[in-house]
Each structure stands twice: as C-alpha cells, then as structure tokens.
Structure 1
C-alpha cells in the first residue's frame, strides 16, 4: 500500500527558452494539442496522445538540457505531503501556491532525483 494516492494524471515538466515555440514544435512534430499558455507564471502545457499525460514547459533563460521532472497529480497536496514527510521524504522548500491554478511541492527520491506533486485548484484539466 502506498502512502499517497496519485490521481491518473502525470505532467512531465521541461525547462525551455521559449515555451510558445516549444508548444508549437511539440504540436507540429508529435501532434500534441496545446492546452493553455499561462503567461503570468511562465508556463505552457500540451496534451500528449496518452490519456492523463501532459508536458509542461517552464520558461528559463538558461534551461538545463535533459532535465525533466515528473509531476504527479494528487487530490489533496497537504495530506500527501504530510504523509511523505512523515515517512522521511525530503522536500525542497515550502508548497508553492499559484492562486486559482495549482499547488506544487518538489521532493526527492533516495537518489536525489527531483519529483513533484501537484493539486489542481482550477477545476479544469483533470
């Protein structure tokens, strides 16, 4: 039995220089559909051809090539984080809240790979 119950969504977060161009490229090359551009927070997201799997693009001036972070959707991030922390899982700072959009918390596996849990606050996209 697991400590938390991720929902049936996963987003792979990529660091890119131009998220609009990246979303366009993934659409043209792979047939992925744009979900939205959130210009106010520097984030764009596309829907892959696999149910529940999206790719998110975070805009950075110097993106790290090969860097991808899986983001697991959860219904209650505070509960999930509490359970993981109770089991000794290390987190990177506090839970980040983007009002009306999402709550995010980054944590690490035993090999120090970054993972993230996210609670959708918008009522959309899952």
Structure 2
C-alpha cells in the first residue's frame, strides 16, 4: 500500500526560453496539440499522443539543460504533502498556488531527483 495516491495523469515539466516557440516546435515536429498558454504564470502545456501525459513548458531566461521534472496529478495536495513530510520526504520550499489554476509542491526522491505534485484548481477535474 502506498503512502499517497496520485491520479492517472502525468505532466513532464521542461524548462524552456520561449514557451510559445517551444509549443510550436512540439506541434510541428511531434504532432502534439497545444492545450493552452498561461502567460500570467509563465507556463504552457501540450498534449502528447499518450492519454494522460502532457508536456508543461516553464519559461526561464536561463533554463537548465536536461532539466525535466515529472509532475503527478493529485487530489488533496495538502494532505498528501503532510503524509510525505511525516515520512521525511524533503520538499523544496512552500506549496505554490496560482489561484483558479493549480497548486504545486516540488519534492525530492532519495537521489535528489526533483518530482512535483499538482492539484488542479480549475474545477475541470470534478
């Protein structure tokens, strides 16, 4: 039995210089579909050809090459975070909230690989 239960979605978060150009590249090169650009959050998402798997494009002026963070969808992020913290899982700062969009928390596996939990706040998952 696992400590928490993530849902059946995964977002692979990539650090990029220009989200709009990157989204176009993924559309033209791989046939992925643009889901949205959230300019106020510096974030875009494209739907891969695999059900439940999206690529999130986080805009950074100096993206880290090879930086990839799997983002696992979850309901009740706060309770899940509390359980993981009680199990001594290390988190990277506070939970981030973009009102009406998403709540996220970055944490690390035993080897220091970054992972993220994300709770949908749009109401679309209800």
- TM normalised by structure 2 equals 0.97
- 2:48 corresponds to: 48
Aligned partners of 2:24 and 2:94: how far apart in 1? Answer: 33
Could you say if the C-alpha distance between residues 29 and 37 of structure 1 is closer, same or farther in structure 2, counting changes exceeding 3 Å?
same
RMSD of Structure 2 on Structure 1 (CA):
1.0
Q: 1:31-88 CA deviation, whole Å, 9 max, x = no partner?
A: 0000000001110000000010000000011111111000000011001101101111
Q: Alignment length, in residue pairs?
A: 126
The structural deviation recorded for 1:123 is 1.8
- 2:18 corresponds to: 18
SS state of the match for residue 21, structure 1?
helix
- 1:93 corresponds to: 93
Gaps of 5+ in 1: none
- 1:108 corresponds to: 108
Aligned partners of 1:59 and 1:43: how far apart in 2? Answer: 6
Give runs of aligned pairs for residues 1-80 of structure 1, distance below 5 A: 1-80=1-80
Aligned partners of 1:57 and 1:65: how far apart in 2? Answer: 13
- TM normalised by structure 1 equals 0.97
Aligned partners of 1:76 and 1:32: how far apart in 2? Answer: 29
The structural deviation recorded for 1:124 is 2.6
Could you say if the C-alpha distance between residues 98 and 47 of structure 1 is closer, same or farther in structure 2, counting changes exceeding 3 Å?
same
SS state of the match for residue 84, structure 1?
helix
- 1:121 corresponds to: 121
Gaps of 5+ in 2: none
Aligned partners of 1:123 and 1:52: how far apart in 2? Answer: 17
